[in-house]
Amino acid sequence: MEQGWNDTHGRLSEAALNWIRSKIEGLEFGDVKITVRQGRIVQIDREEKQRHHEVVPERDRRRNPLEGRVQRTVS
């Protein structure tokens, strides 16, 4: 995915939009980071956070607020 990201008017190409769309689809919680160098998209990182949906009693909770979250970065 190296060339053809912008058309002559500076708009994103269909290939670039599809790449971005593929990183966003199905994402419930997380971030998508787009890295641009010299006017070109060179990398897209997707960080997904997954949360437990069950309720845990206060006495069973751990001190670390990030415990129980899973983060995955996909390029």
Q: Does 2 score more than 50 pLDDT?
A: no
pLDDT of residue 61: 57
pLDDT of residue 51: 73
- How far is residue 8's CA from residue 20's CA, in Å, rounded to a whole number? 20
* Under 8 Å between Cβ of 7 and 31: no
- How far is residue 48's CA from residue 25's CA, in Å, rounded to a whole number? 11
Domain contains 59: yes
Token pair of 75 as six digits: 């390029």
4-62 pLDDT, tens digit each: 566 656 788 888 899 999 999 999 889 999 998 888 888 999 999 877 666 666 665 55
Domain contains 1: no
Number of domains in the chain: 1
* Under 8 Å between Cβ of 33 and 45: yes
Tokens 């190409």 identify what position?
Answer: 13
* Under 8 Å between Cβ of 15 and 4: yes
pLDDT of residue 24: 93
Domain contains 63: yes
Give the range of the structural domain holding residue 39, as residue numbers without chain letter: 14-74
Domain contains 18: yes
